[in-house]
Structure 1
Amino acid sequence: MPKTITSPLQKKLATMLVELRKKAGLRQIDLAEKLGVYQSWVTHLESGQRRVDVVELIELGRIIGFDPADVVRKLNKR
């Protein structure tokens, strides 16, 4: 099993989060401000340099406007 930070699943999640953010009309800086973090945190998240835990996924869903369960279902499809 590959380390999760470099796994294909992690990369797929990062790509999905970028698409969802853009679809919501948010820039990285906008998302960072809503989350109360630095833009670099969002950059690392979206580039796959940092993992997303379940609580963060729920918070991202609340702010961006997606259902975290739907994201997980899509990730689970191969």
Structure 2
Amino acid sequence: MSISLYHADYAGLRALLKDVRVKGGLTQVQMAEALGVGQSYVSKLERGENFVDVLLFVRWCQACGIPAGQTLDKLLPVDN
């Protein structure tokens, strides 16, 4: 399956990352500082102009004080 920046699952990831950041009490500027990137990079990730790689995802979650696995569980429910 090919997933583009505009796929529904990716839109869900962007919304989840923003939600985690906001609930973690971080602005885009603070998140950028935590990740060692510019604020515009964080904005582009949240708007879907860039893909999120797995290491950045983990660092994002760490900056917000939430385990990456717990965050993934919110994104893609496990089929039983």
TM-score (norm 2): 0.85
Once residues 10 and 19 of structure 1 are traced to their aligned partners in structure 2, the CA distance between those partners, rounded to angstroms, is 14
Counterpart of 1:16 in structure 2 is 16
Once residues 71 and 25 of structure 1 are traced to their aligned partners in structure 2, the CA distance between those partners, rounded to angstroms, is 16
Higher helix share: 1
- Deviating above 3 A after TM superposition, structure 1's stretches of 4 or more consecutive aligned residues are none
1:1-78 aligned at under 5 Å gives the runs: 1=1, 3-77=3-77
User: Identity of paired residues, percent?
Assistant: 32
**Any unmatched runs of 5+ in structure 2?**
none
Q: Is 39-48 or 1-10 further displaced after alignment? A: 1-10
Matched AA of 1:32: A
Cα RMSD, aligned residues only: 1.6
TM-score (norm 1): 0.87
**Any unmatched runs of 5+ in structure 1?**
none
Aligned residues: 78
Q: CA deviation at 1:32?
A: 0.6
